[in-house]
Amino acid sequence: MTLTLDILLSGLVLGGMYALIAMGLTLQYGIARIMNLSYGEFLVAAAFGALFLFTGMAVNPILGLLLIVPASFAANWLLYRVVLTPLVKRAKNQGMLEVDSILGTFGVLFVIQGIMQVVFGGALQSYSYLSVPVRILGTTLAANRILALVFALVIGGLLYLLLTRTRYGTALRAIAVNPVAAQLSGIDIAAASGLAFAAGGAIVGAGGVLISMFLTFSAASGVIFTMKALIVVIMGGVGNMMGALVAGLLLGIAETAVARLVDPGLTIAVTYALFLGALLWRPTGLFGRPAR
């Protein structure tokens, strides 16, 4: 019983991190319809930002969020307006946009990675913040990881409410479902998509800052996070905020359970097995709309 509870809590905390990483991408891909391969680079850039503020200027990362989140929002908005808008305008259909955005953001990935390499060097980076034990129901957890979970839940909940309960959210969802029809009904697609993309950027910025408190990272780590985020997003169902949250938590619990009960060597394998299994069971993700 204690073991079950332990696994559940530790798994939730790990899953909270996955969900946090994934939620920005689900906005960017689900609503702005951009398959952003440079997503993880923004996360690592935010982590470097937090590191620099903390070690260089003694600004604690929580305060750092106030600076880094708006910066990441702005950077992503610019990326969308400058680099991606021409591609969106040019694309005749979703397939073309997908190919173009994969190629384009793959380029952006290298640019950002290269800049970080030049500025910060290639070495691994890490610092300690809020690495203190918190006891919940007899289970010891790290405060910084719990913070990531809390953020994931808050952001997920807020976005869910925003998307389902407000007029603007309805407009955004309309874009996700059918951009052409949404345009006909008077929604300014370009502005709304840009905003959704930038909002995704803000979330990934927050994710980067929070994760930098407990994970070691280097300029080359971005791809790992992009892939993890993609897996969570796809497993949850593209554009579905709750889906990303649930899928992330599920993966966290599954990984922890396998590590404790079966073999820690299989934790990453089980992530992929679960992901592949979920897609075979529901080809458009756990919470995705059924394909027509």
Which one among 17, 149, 244, 247 touches other proteins, defined by CB under 8 A?
17
Q: Cβ of residue 128: shortest distance to other proteins, in angstroms?
A: 6
Residue 70 or 121 with smaller CB distance to other proteins:
121
Which one among 66, 70, 114, 157 touches other proteins, defined by CB under 8 A?
114
CA-based end-to-end distance of the chain: 44
Q: Is 79 in the site for other proteins (CB under 8 A)?
A: no
Which one among 1, 57, 58, 132 touches other proteins, defined by CB under 8 A?
132
Which residues inside 19-48 make contact with other proteins, applying CB under 8 A? 29, 35
Q: Cβ of residue 166: shortest distance to other proteins, in angstroms?
A: 27
Closest CA to 223 of 80, 39, 77, 47: 39
Q: Is 255 in the site for other proteins (CB under 8 A)?
A: yes
Q: Is 123 in the site for other proteins (CB under 8 A)?
A: yes
Task: Specify the length of the chain in residues.
Answer: 292
Which residues inside 202-231 make contact with other proteins, applying CB under 8 A? 214-220, 223-224, 227, 230-231
Which one among 14, 182, 210, 246 touches other proteins, defined by CB under 8 A?
14
Cα–Cα distance for residue pair 51/40, rounded to 1 Å:
16
Q: Is 104 in the site for other proteins (CB under 8 A)?
A: yes
Instruction: Give the largest Cα separation in the chain, rounded.
Output: 57
Closest CA to 68 of 53, 81, 78, 57: 53
Total of residues contacting other proteins (CB under 8 A): 80
Q: Is 85 in the site for other proteins (CB under 8 A)?
A: no
Q: Look at the block and give the residue holding tokens 């790290």.
A: 142
- Alpha helices by DSSP H, the chain: 2-30, 39-51, 57, 61-78, 85-90, 94-120, 143-165, 167-177, 179-184, 189-212, 222-236, 241-261, 267-281
Q: Is 8 in the site for other proteins (CB under 8 A)?
A: no
Q: Which amino acid is at 60?
A: N
Q: Is 267 in the site for other proteins (CB under 8 A)?
A: yes
- Residue 56 in tokens: 């260089």
